[in-house]
Amino acid sequence: MILDPFIVAQLNEFIDDVTGIEATLQPREKRGIGAVAGAIAEEVLNLHIHLDGSKGRDELIKKYQFWLKQKKSEEKK
């Protein structure tokens, strides 16, 4: 296919970005499926962690702002 080199380059970049491991896939290579599947699984896990953490984000911001106000008032004393 004409796009094989482009697709493989993008897959290599995706695997490298997600896992931090330099991918060396070549066009028409069978082992690439496992590497891509592993990177996708890791990215889905990261998304779940991010979404779970963002639920309490507003509460954490309020607590941090309150803490900063207390600290500033103590420094003025």
Q: Which helix (H) or strand (E) holds 45?
A: helix 32-54
Closest residue by Cα to residue 8 from 21, 19, 30: 30
The model scores a pTM over 0.85 = no
Q: What is the number of other CB atoms lying within 10 angstroms of the CB of residue 3? A: 9
Number of domains in the chain: 1
Predicted confidence (pLDDT) per residue in 25-77, tens digit: 776 666 677 888 888 998 998 888 888 877 777 887 788 788 777 767 776 66
Residue range of the domain that includes 19: 4-76
Positive or negative, the CA dihedral 58, 64, 67, 72 is negative
